[in-house]
Amino acid sequence: MNGANRVLDHDFVSLESAVDHLSREHHHLRERVSILEQRVVSLEQPKGPTICLGHSDEDASDGFIPPLGTATLESFESGLKAQHMCDYCYKISANCFNCPRCGHEWYCSKHCQRLRGIVHEHSCRNCCKTI
């Protein structure tokens, strides 16, 4: 009934003009939905810098290159194991410190800790509840 009222409100002369108007409106809405779907897909893409902790030329010669964000055995043996990545800005640093409450999140600075705290606070509280 609501749709019928909307059509009547436009004072269309004929049913044909009403159908034409609704067809154009439908086309416009489909275009908007398509644009919004593209925006959703782009928002689902990972943000921030991506890292590759290293791969050798030998890996490239056999066609295998480790995915971004992976580490090779050599990188762990060379000391990268002791470095951590900031959960806010994704900076890799030996100076990162973990969340003093839960120990699950890592930060490169107090500034990053404070900014990430808005997101982390809820999971940190839930993980550290004492019975």
pTM of the full structure: 0.38
The pLDDT value recorded for residue 33 is 86
**88 in Cβ contact with 99 (< 8 Å):** no
The pLDDT value recorded for residue 17 is 81
Q: What is the pLDDT of residues 60-111, one digit of tens each?
A: 455 555 554 445 555 555 554 568 889 889 888 888 999 988 888 999 999 9
**DSSP assignment of 31-74:** HHHHHHHHHHHHHHS--S--------HHHHHTT--PPTT---HH
| More confidently predicted of 115 and 50 | 115
The SS3 of residue 122 is: helix
Q: What is the pLDDT of residues 6-47, one digit of tens each?
A: 555 556 578 888 788 888 888 888 988 888 888 888 777 766
Query: What is the C-alpha radius of gyration for the chain, rounded to an integer number of angstroms?
Result: 27
